[in-house]
C-alpha cells in the first residue's frame, strides 16, 4: 500500500473511533456497534494527559476491560482482562535550553524581530505562540538549542553586547528514543508494538472503571507514542472530569461550603472548555497537574464537590459572548492583580485587580447574664462556671461573692443530681450531713454519684495511695482511695497545689472540679460557624448542615482572646466567625466566639495570608545565576508594583550584569510563594549582607478568583454567582449544555 494511502487510512480509522466514542454512533456505521460494545462517552469530552514519558505501565480494571490495537487498522487484542502491563521505550531523557529574546502581541511584529535578529546575531531563531491564553497569547522569539545552561548563559552575555537586554533562559526536556519496541503483556502473551500503535483500553461495562498507579479513572484510556515519549491519556466526559478536579483544587474537607464549591466548579469547567486543544500536538487537551488543573480521578471525589458539579452542570463564565480564561489562585493576600502584570499576554477586562473584601454589617449580640472573673489558684474559672450554668447544673444569676463563699455538702449534692441526667447516669445521691464540704468529702460524693467505686478500687495503684497517705496522713483509708482517684484522673490538682485538706472548699472550687468530672463523660459543646443572624436567631453551619437556633434571653456570651476566655455582656460577630455553643431544645444557652474576624480581608484565615522567608545570599545568588549570568549578587530592587502592590518589575543587580525581571518570572527566579512582598537585608558585624528576608502575602499567581476568599464569601452568605462576579469583572453565567 502506498505510504500516503496508508496514512490516510490510519487517519480514517482513528477519526471513526473518535466519532463513534465521543460523538455518538452515526447511522452509516451501524454494523460496527459491537466495536466498543456500546461504550460511549457523553459530550463534551476532554482528553487529560495523566502519564508522560512512561516506561512501565500497569492498567487495571475493576470488572474487566477490552483492549484494541489501532494503527493502519484496528483489532481486538483482549476481550475481558483485569489488568495489562506495557513495557514502553527506554527513553534517554536529557535537557536542552533555549533563550527567549523578544516577544510581541502581533505576529507581524514578532516576525520582524526574527528577521532583525537573524541579521544581527545569527543562529537558529524561531517563533512560537504562547499557550497560556489561546485567544490573547503573545508571540515569543527564541534562539537555540543550547545543550547546557552554561552555553545559554554565555550566549546571553554575547547578545547583551549587541543590545539585547531582556533575555530569558527556558529549559526543555529532550527525549531520544532507543530502537527498542514497546511490549504489551496480555493474558501472559508478550506482543511487541511499533511506534505508530495506539492502544485503547475500554471498560467492559459502564459500571467498570480503570486504574493507573493507585488512582481510578472514569472513561477510557489511550496509550500512544509522542515526541515526549509514551503518553497515557484519560478520555472522559467533562462533568466526570470535574468531579476529580474540584476537590483537588478546593478541598471540601477544609473548605466545606457548597457555594464556594459551586464557584470553583464553574471556574474549573470554564477553564477546561476554554483550553480544549491546548496540547493537541501531544494528543490531549490539558495536563492532570497544576500546569493545567489538578486532576486525581475518582479517588479524590467527595459528595460535596460532586454535588457542586452536578448543580452547576453546563454552566460557564463568559465575557463578550466568549468563555473567559478562568484563572484562580489559592490565597491573594488581600487583593488580586491585573493579568497582564503577571502573565505574558494582553489585558483582559474581567481579570483586573480586585480587593479581596466583602462589605457587610457586624451583628451585636447582647446578654443580661453576668459572671465576673472568679479565680481559683490564679486562674479565671468563670468560663467553667458559665458552662455549668448553661447546663442548669448550678445557679446562673449569682455574683462573685456567692462563689467565693464556702460550699456545703447539701448544695453540691444538689448540683450532682442536676448533672447526672445530662451524662446518662441514673444513680442516686444521698443527702450528706449539713456543714461545709472538704476535698475528701467531695471525693466521696463524686464516687457515689458517678459510681466510680470500681474504678477507684482497680485503677488506683498502691504507689498512688501511698503518696496520698504520705501527703495527707490524717485521711481515713477509704478517703485515701477516693482522693487518689480524683488526683490521678486530673479532676483535682496535684497534692502540692492543695493547700490544706482541712480548709473547706469554696463554691467556685467545687464547681470547677464538677465541670472537669462531667467533661470526662462527653463533649457538651457544638462547633461550627455563623452563617446569618435574624432578630433573636442564629443560622449556624455544623458538620456541613445548617441549623437555625434561638438565642435565650439569659444567653451567656464568651469571648476568646489569645490564650484567655472571658464572660462578656456583648459580642460583635459576622458571617464566617468560628463559634462553640451549648444548646437545649433548639435554643442556645452559651455561645463562645473562638475565632472572630479582625479585618475585612477575606483570605485572612489562610496560613499563607502572611509569610516570611529568610534566604542566605549565597543560596539566592546560585539560584539567580541559573537564569541570568549576574555573577556575585549585589542587590534586589523592586522597580514597579501593580495595583495589588505586587512586584511586577524588579532589578537584579550583580557584579557582572544587571537584569530586569518581570511578572511571574520574579516569583520563579526568587523561589517565593507570591509576588506580593517587601525585602529586608540582614548583615554581619562587618556590614556584609548575609541574608535577604522576604516578608510577603499570598500564595499563587494572584490573578482571578481567590479560593480562600471565595470560601469566606460563601460563609458570609454569598452565592456561587456572587463570588464569580466579584473576582471576574463584568462576566455572565450561561448554561451551554
Give the DSSP per-residue string, 323-351: E----EESB-TTB---HHHHSSS---TTS
418 and 508, same domain (yes or no): yes
Q: Could you tell me the CA-to-CA distances from 667 to 165, 343, 673 in Å, in that order? A: 20, 12, 7
Pair 420, 495 in one domain: yes
Same domain, yes or no: 468 and 531: no
Average pLDDT rounded to a whole number, residues 655-683: 95
> Alpha-carbon distance 356 to 344, whole Å?
24
- pLDDT exceeds 50 at position 179: no
**Residue 181: pLDDT above 80?**
no
Q: Average pLDDT, stretch 39-52?
A: 88
Are 481 and 428 part of one and the same domain? yes
Q: List pLDDT tens digits, range 560-614.
A: 876 778 888 888 888 888 899 999 888 999 999 886 666 788 988 888 999 999 9
Residues 557 and 423 in one domain: no
The answer to whether 297 touches 355, Cβ cutoff 8 Å, is no
Give exposure, 346-371, as e/b (b: 16+ Cβ within 10 Å): eebebbbbbbbbbeeeebebebebbb
Domain contains 129: yes
Q: Which of 217, 238, 259 is the last residue of a domain?
A: 238
Examine residue 44 and say whether the peptide bond preceding it is cis (omega within 30 degrees of 0). Answer: yes
Of 676, 696, 716, the residue at which a domain comes to its end is 696
Q: Which residues form the domain of 438?
A: 392-519
For 171, the enclosing helix (H) or strand (E) is: strand 168-177
Residue at 425 is within a domain: yes
Q: Which value, in Å, is the radius of gyration of the alpha carbons in the chain?
A: 35
Which of 48-52, 348-352, 580-584, 592-596 is predicted with the least confidence, judged by mean pLDDT?
A: 592-596
Query: How far is CA 210 from its chain centroid?
Result: 26
User: What percent of the chain has a predicted confidence (pLDDT) above 70?
Assistant: 88
Q: Is the pLDDT of residue 639 over 60?
A: yes
Scanning the structure block, which residue is given the C-alpha cell 509522542? Answer: 226
pLDDT in tens, 550-563: 998 888 898 887 67
The whole-model pTM stands at 0.78
Average pLDDT over residues 157-175: 80
Banded pLDDT at 534 (limits 50, 70, 90) = confident
Predicted local confidence at residue 112, as pLDDT? 86
pLDDT at 390 over 70: yes
DSSP assignments along 373-429, one per residue: --EETTEE-HHHHHHHHHTTSS-SS--HHHHHSBPBHHHHHHHHHHHGGGGT-----
Same domain, 512 and 399: yes
pLDDT at 23 over 50: no
pLDDT > 80? residue 289 = yes
Which residues fall within 8 angstroms of residue 8, CB to CB, at 6 or more apart?
none
Q: Is residue 645 part of a domain?
A: yes
What is the mean pLDDT of the segment spanning 229-253?
94
Q: Please give the average per-residue pLDDT across 288-292, as a whole number.
A: 92
Q: Which residues pair with 693 in a beta bridge?
A: 614, 680
Choose one of 452, 485, 519: the last residue of a domain: 519
How far apart are the C-alpha atoms of 146 and 169, rounded to whole Å?
A: 10
212 shares its domain with 78: yes
Same structural domain, 566 and 492: no
The answer to whether residue 724 sits within a structural domain is no
H or E element in which residue 12 lies: helix 3-22
Cβ-contact 694, 712 below 8 angstroms? no
* Structure-model confidence comparison of residues 595 and 4, the more confident one: 595
Average confidence (pLDDT) over 670-698 = 95
Q: How many CB atoms are located within 10 Å of the residue 673 CB? A: 19
Indicate if 417 and 471 belong to the same structural domain: yes
Q: What is the mean pLDDT of residues 30-39?
A: 41
Per-residue pLDDT at 345: 83
- Is the pLDDT at 4 greater than 60? The verdict is no
Residue 73's CB is within 10 A of a number of other CB atoms, namely 9
Q: What is the pLDDT of residue 498?
A: 61
pLDDT in tens, 443-495: 889 988 899 988 888 888 888 778 877 777 777 877 888 888 888 888 888 75
Same domain, 101 and 189: no
pLDDT for the residue 619: 96
Q: What pLDDT score was predicted for residue 25?
A: 37
> What interhelical angle do 707-715 and 720-727 show, nearest 10?
140
Q: Which residues pair with 237 in a beta bridge?
A: 45
What pLDDT, on a 0 to 100 scale, did the predictor assign at position 5? Answer: 36
The verdict on residue 624 lying in a domain is yes
- Once rounded to an integer, what is the mean pLDDT over residues 294-313? 97
Q: Residue 31 above 50 pLDDT?
A: no
Phi/psi zone of residue 562: left (φ > 0), alpha (ψ -120 to 50 degrees), beta? left
Per-residue confidence (pLDDT) for residue 344, from 0 to 100: 81
Q: Does residue 49 sit in the same domain as residue 126?
A: no
Q: What does the pLDDT average to over 235-253?
A: 96
Residue 270: count of CB within 10 angstroms of its CB: 24
625 and 561 within one domain: no
pLDDT at 637: 97
Model confidence at 132: pLDDT above 80: no
How does residue 720 score in pLDDT terms, banded at 50, 70 and 90?
Answer: very high
Residue 498 lies in a domain: yes
**In this structure, are residues 404 and 510 in contact, taking their beta carbons and an 8 Å threshold?**
no
Domain count, the chain: 5
Residue 425 CB-density burial (10 A; 0-12 exposed, 13-18 middle, 19+ buried) = middle
* pLDDT score, position 240: 96
pLDDT band at residue 326, thresholds of 50, 70 and 90?
very high
124: domain CATH number is 3.30.70.1070
Query: How high is the pLDDT of residue 92?
Result: 52
User: Which helix or strand (DSSP H or E) is residue 710 part of?
Assistant: helix 707-715
Taking 60 as the threshold, does the pLDDT of residue 2 lie above it? Answer: no
User: Is there a domain that residue 730 lies in?
Assistant: no
Residue 545 cell numbers, joined: 448542615
Distance separating alpha carbons of residues 541 and 525, to the nearest angstrom: 14
Q: Is the pLDDT of residue 93 over 60?
A: no
**Cα atoms in the Cβ-side hemisphere of radius 13 Å centred on 157:** 13
In a domain, 347, yes or no: no
Please report the DSSP string for 598-631 in residue order. SSSBTTTTSTTSSEEEEEEHHHHHHHHTTTS---
Amino acid at each position: 500500500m502506498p505510504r500516503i494511502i496508508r496514512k490516510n487510512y490510519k487517519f480514517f480509522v482513528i477519526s471513526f473511533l473518535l466519532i463513534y466514542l465521543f460523538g455518538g454512533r452515526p447511522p452509516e456505521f451501524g454494523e460496527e456497534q459491537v466495536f466498543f460494545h456500546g461504550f460511549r462517552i457523553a459530550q463534551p469530552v476532554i482528553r487529560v494527559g495523566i502519564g508522560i514519558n512512561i516506561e512501565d505501565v500497569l492498567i487495571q480494571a475493576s470488572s474487566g476491560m477490552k483492549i484494541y490495537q489501532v494503527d493502519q487498522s484496528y483489532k481486538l487484542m483482549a476481550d475481558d482482562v483485569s489488568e495489562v502491563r506495557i513495557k514502553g521505550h527506554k527513553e534517554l531523557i536529557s535537557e536542552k535550553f533555549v533563550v527567549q529574546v523578544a516577544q510581541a502581541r502581533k505576529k507581524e511584529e514578532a516576525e520582524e524581530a526574527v528577521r532583525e535578529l537573524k541579521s544581527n546575531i545569527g543562529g537558529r531563531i524561531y517563533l512560537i505562540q504562547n499557550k497560556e491564553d489561546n485567544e490573547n497569547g503573545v508571540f515569543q522569539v527564541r534562539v537555540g538549542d543550547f545543550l547546557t545552561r552554561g552555553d545559554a548563559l554565555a550566549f546571553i552575555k554575547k547578545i547583551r553586547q549587541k543590545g539585547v537586554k531582556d533575555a530569558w533562559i527556558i529549559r526543555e526536556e529532550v527525549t531520544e528514543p532507543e530502537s527498542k519496541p514497546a511490549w504489551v503483556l496480555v493474558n501472559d502473551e508478550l506482543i511487541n508494538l511499533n511506534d505508530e500503535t495506539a492502544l485503547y483500553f475500554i471498560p467492559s461495562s459502564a459500571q467498570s472503571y480503570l486504574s493507573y498507579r493507585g488512582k481510578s479513572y472514569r472513561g477510557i484510556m489511550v496509550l500512544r507514542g509522542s515526541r515526549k515519549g509514551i503518553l497515557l491519556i484519560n478520555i472522559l466526559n467533562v462533568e466526570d472530569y470535574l468531579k476529580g478536579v474540584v476537590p483537588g483544587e478546593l478541598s471540601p474537607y477544609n473548605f466545606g461550603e457548597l457555594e464556594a464549591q459551586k464557584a470553583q466548579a464553574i471556574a474549573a469547567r470554564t477553564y477546561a472548555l476554554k483550553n480544549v486543544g491546548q496540547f493537541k500536538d501531544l494528543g490531549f487537551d490539558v495536563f492532570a497537574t497544576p500546569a493545567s488543573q489538578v486532576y486525581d480521578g475518582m479517588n479524590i471525589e467527595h459528595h460535596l464537590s460532586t454535588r457542586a458539579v452536578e448543580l452547576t452542570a453546563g454552566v460557564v463564565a463568559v465575557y463578550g459572548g466568549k468563555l473567559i480564561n478562568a484563572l484562580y489562585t489559592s490565597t491573594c493576600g488581600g487583593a488580586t492583580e491585573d493579568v497582564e502584570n503577571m502573565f505574558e499576554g494582553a489585558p483582559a477586562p474581567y481579570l483586573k485587580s480586585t480587593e479581596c473584601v466583602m462589605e457587610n454589617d457586624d451583628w451585636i449580640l447582647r446578654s443580661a447574664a453576668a459572671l465576673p472573673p472568679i479565680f481559683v489558684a490564679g486562674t479565671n474559672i468563670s468560663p467553667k462556671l458559665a458552662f455549668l450554668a448553661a447546663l442548669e447544673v448550678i445557679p446562673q444569676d449569682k455574683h462573685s461573692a456567692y462563689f467565693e463563699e464556702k460550699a456545703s455538702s447539701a448544695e453540691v449534692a444538689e448540683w450532682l443530681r442536676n448533672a447526672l441526667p445530662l451524662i446518662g447516669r441514673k444513680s442516686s445521691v444521698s443527702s450528706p450531713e449539713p456543714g461545709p464540704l472538704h476535698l475528701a468529702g467531695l471525693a466521696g460524693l463524686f464516687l457515689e454519684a458517678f459510681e466510680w467505686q470500681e474504678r477507684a478500687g482497680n485503677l488506683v495503684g498502691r504507689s498512688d495511695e501511698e503518696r496520698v497517705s504520705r501527703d495527707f496522713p490524717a485521711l481515713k483509708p477509704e478517703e485515701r482511695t477516693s482522693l487518689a482517684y480524683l488526683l490521678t484522673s486530673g479532676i483535682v490538682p496535684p497534692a502540692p497545689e492543695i493547700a490544706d485538706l482541712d480548709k473547706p472548699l469554696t463554691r467556685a472550687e467545687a464547681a470547677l472540679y464538677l465541670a472537669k468530672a462531667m467533661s470526662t463523660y462527653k463533649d457538651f459543646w457544638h462547633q461550627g460557624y455563623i452563617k446569618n443572624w435574624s432578630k433573636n436567631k442564629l443560622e449556624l453551619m455544623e458538620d456541613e448542615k445548617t441549623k437555625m437556633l434561638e438565642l435565650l434571653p439569659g444567653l451567656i456570651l464568651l469571648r476568646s482572646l489569645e490564650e484567655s476566655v472571658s464572660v462578656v455582656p456583648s459580642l460583635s460577630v459576622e458571617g464566617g466567625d468560628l463559634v462553640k455553643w451549648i444548646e437545649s431544645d433548639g435554643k442556645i444557652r452559651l455561645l463562645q466566639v473562638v475565632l472572630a474576624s479582625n479585618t475585612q480581608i477575606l483570605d485572612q484565615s489562610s496560613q499563607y495570608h502572611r509569610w516570611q522567608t529568610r534566604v542566605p545570599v549565597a543560596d539566592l545568588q546560585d539560584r539567580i545565576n541559573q537564569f541570568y549570568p549576574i555573577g556575585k549578587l549585589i542587590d534586589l530592587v523592586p522597580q514597579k508594583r501593580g495595583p495589588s502592590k505586587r512586584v511586577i518589575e524588579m532589578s537584579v543587580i550583580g557584579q557582572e550584569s544587571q537584569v530586569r525581571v518581570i511578572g511571574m518570572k520574579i516569583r520563579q527566579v526568587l523561589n517565593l510563594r507570591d509576588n506580593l512582598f517587601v525585602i529586608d537585608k540582614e548583615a554581619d558585624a562587618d556590614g556584609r549582607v548575609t541574608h535577604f528576608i522576604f516578608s510577603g502575602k499570598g500564595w499563587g499567581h494572584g490573578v482571578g478568583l481567590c479560593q480562600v476568599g471565595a470560601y469566606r464569601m460563601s460563609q458570609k452568605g454569598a452565592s456561587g454567582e456572587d463570588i464569580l462576579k466579584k473576582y471576574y469583572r463584568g462576566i455572565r453565567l450561561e448554561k451551554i449544555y
